[in-house]
Amino acid sequence: MAVTLAEPFADTGDTAPVITHGAIVELAAPDDAAGGPRVCVVVQADLFNETHATVTLCPLTAVVGGESLFRVAVSPQEHTGLTVECEVQVDRITSVRRHRIVKVIGHASATRMEQVDQALRRWLAL
């Protein structure tokens, strides 16, 4: 999948893929972490995605546990870029510096993101 690069960030000089709400992205592993890249879904509003130094994400896991109020299933389909069944871990919401995003691998459907948004509202009591 081709990725459009944004202008260099003023605070880091790095560039990062242009991302949108629902984008499924690959993160570079932090320097102090064992293991490889991490796949996450962008949950931050598009209004802030191009201008804010950080991006709010929920990680995905291939350890699927079934029905849950705070986990949302995402299937391996062409538009998601996933190769195995995964769950969005709404209970592990986090924000990372934009330069940690290596690439956009796909996008969750609008229906799936509505489910993620509902799960976030439950988890955060919004």
Tens of each residue's pLDDT in the chain, 126 residues = 333 333 333 444 555 567 899 999 999 876 655 566 799 999 999 998 888 899 999 999 998 887 788 999 999 999 999 999 999 999 999 999 998 999 999 999 999 999 999 999 999 999
Query: Residue 22, by phi and psi: left (phi above 0), alpha (psi -120 to 50) or beta?
Result: left
pTM for this prediction? 0.81
Q: Which CATH architecture has domain 23-124?
A: Roll (2.30)
Where b means 16+ CB within 10 Å and e means fewer, 55-73 reads: bbbbbbeeeeeeeeebbbe
